[in-house]
Amino acid sequence: MFRWGLLLALAVLALDQLTKALIVANITQSTAAGLDIREITPFFNIWHVRNSGIAFSLGNFSDGGRYFIGILAFAVSGFLVYLGTKTSKRLVISAYALIAGGAVGNAFDRLNPGRQTVVDFLDFHIGTFHWPSFNVADMAIVLGVALILTDMLFFAEKQETNSTE
């Protein structure tokens, strides 16, 4: 089972880095001076933006914060790999793998001297309201958290409480 999780985490990392490399190579980074937007549907665009914060562009970190978040992502991923060795539940292992692969993918961006920011490129919108741009790593992290919540709500083993009266 552990191998399954490791393969899934590596697949997420590879897909994340491949898609970001394709975006960087083929779409000009959007700035205040101009936007290079590829409209896919009336509600979905692909573009190249950089995120120096965390999920959904929250925060704007300096170099120290960038290194801290990047190193923290590796530490959390290592802990999730460890937790994955302690369970036989495929759903939970998949959740840990998705989160770890996504966290490491975004950490690579933050710690890459050539980038120093996370590459985001998926843009969903309704009219002029745009959801914050995101990437494959972000999707994996959100899906992993959703799987953990699903396991906790629907599949967690019931613990009996002993009350002494």
**Dihedral sign for Cα atoms in the order 6, 7, 13, 17:** positive
Among 16, 109, 123, 138, the active-site one is 138
The sign of the torsion formed by the CA atoms of 143, 144, 149, 151 equals positive
> For this structure, is 63 an active site residue?
no
Interatomic CA distance for residues 27 and 25, integer angstroms: 6
Q: Give the active site residue among 16, 109, 120, 123.
A: 120
Neighbours of 118 (CB within 10 A): 29
120 is known as an active-site residue: yes
Instruction: Report whether 92 contacts 148 (CB < 8 A).
Output: yes
Assign 49 to helix, strand or coil: strand
Cα–Cα distance measured from residue 144 to residue 92, given in angstroms and rounded to the nearest whole number:
8
SS3 21: helix
**Residues annotated as part of the active site:** 120, 138
